[in-house]
Amino acid sequence: MRVAEAWRVALDALRANRLRSVLTMLGVVIGVAAVVALVGIGTGTKGQIEQQVEGLGSNLLLVVPGRLEAGSAPAASTMTIDDVEAVARVVGDRDRVAATIASGETLRAGSRSAFASMQGVLENTPTVFVRKLDRGSYLTRTDVTTGRRVAVLGAGTATALFGDRDPIGRQITIGGVRFRVIGTFERLGQSLGVDRDSEVHVPVTAAQRLLGTDRIDGLAIRAPDRERINQLSTAVVDTLTERHPDSDFSAVTQEQILGVLGDILGVLTGVLAAIAGISLLVGGVGVSNIMLVSVRERTKEIGLRKAVGARPRDIGVQFLLEAVLLTTIGGVLGMALGVTAALLVDALSPVPAAITWWSLALAFGVSAIVGIIFGVVPAQRAGRLDPVVALRTE
């Protein structure tokens, strides 16, 4: 009964000062909305990256020159095609070892041109990294050994150069050198705002000739099974170090990449959420402030209620409920706003967002707790008011 009355009175008090209640809530609304939207965007981005790294296929091992340590500069590669053969012998299967040399190049077809990442690769790339063709065929072993000038276009590059026309069999130039298009990839979409379809695969030998080098940038190995991946990683690095005693090599697994990316995004999301949390805190201070004003305004009412039998606790609960009501209503509005913002970002920008139930539950819980924390001091003050002093207040 007493609690029901407290609810009624609290709601009534909020309604009596509608504008003030709304303005006070605004702080909490913005804080909660920011938390929900930012956590949503963080979660969505993390999910997308994980999906993309996993999309590379499982049991993948990437080998790059230099040390993968914080603060170490990226090293120039000393690896050549011969190293690929040596590593292939360690792995025991030539089809499981892919090599890459990459360079940004301008592509032209007739009057059209496009900038794309040129990847000099072996014929086994689509099996090591899972890549599907849309049209035509991929590079062959012979293409690679003979350094034939043939190219497989990313979906974006194909559209940029040929529009709706079929590019298969047509001529393009890469860095001024003529190539013939033999295939196109299926569309991949974007990742963190980067177009992943602006690329062209050519035989590694042709790319090396174009770039005037015999180096390759790195290797990728698809391990036969998960158990052997660490052992393989050590063996490959050892082999390469033996062949190039003056260089360092590093091998990273998909899990490691995922772990590092996850950590970075986790920290980023955490920092954003903390900033949003501060605005929630500021909202809470606003609630505290208004509650103190409310207690002062209603001092006489408190005195009267006490005179007719309200205990300090009854008064305290009434004001605490009022504060909690302010913040939880604000919290619900904030959640709605945050979800809307996240969905809009997801729909209208390349940044993905995913709303998780736990973030909503957390936001609601936090707004209720903010109400309790920032309502407790005004509520105690109201509960402890001396009834005589309260009744005499003008």
Partner 1 sequence: MTAAIVATGISRTYDLDGVSVPALRGVSLTIEPGDYLAIVGTSGSGKSTLMHLLGGLDRPTGGTLLIGGRDVAGLTPGEMAKLRNETIGFVFQSFHLLARTTARDNVALPLVYRGIGRRERRARATEMLDRVGLSHRVDHRPNQMSGGEQQRVAIARALVTDPSVLLADEPTGNLDSATGQSVLALLESLNAEGVAVVLVTHDREVAARAHRQIVMKDGVIVPDPSSAAVAQ
- Residues making contact with partner 1 (CB under 8 A): 1-2, 4-5, 12, 16, 300-301, 303-314, 386-388, 391
Nearest CB to partner 1, comparing residues 112 and 313: 313
Q: Least distance in Å: CB of 304 to partner 1?
A: 5
Angstrom distance (rounded) from CA 235 to CA 231: 6
Give the span between the Cα atoms of 355 and 40, in whole angstroms.
Answer: 5
Residue whose CB is less far from partner 1, 222 or 305: 305
Instruction: Provide the minimum distance between the beta carbon of 46 and partner 1 in the complex, in angstroms, as a whole number.
Output: 51
Residue number, 26 or 304, with CB nearest to partner 1: 304
> Cβ of residue 309: shortest distance to partner 1, in angstroms?
3
- Residues 273, 38: Cα–Cα separation, whole Å: 6
CB 383 to partner 1: min, Å: 9
Cβ nearer to partner 1, comparing 301 with 346: 301
Minimum distance from residue 14 beta carbon to partner 1 (Å): 13
Residue 96 vs 305, nearer CB to partner 1:
305
Q: Which is nearer to partner 1, 369 or 391 (CB)?
A: 391
Rounded least distance, CB 308 to partner 1, Å: 4
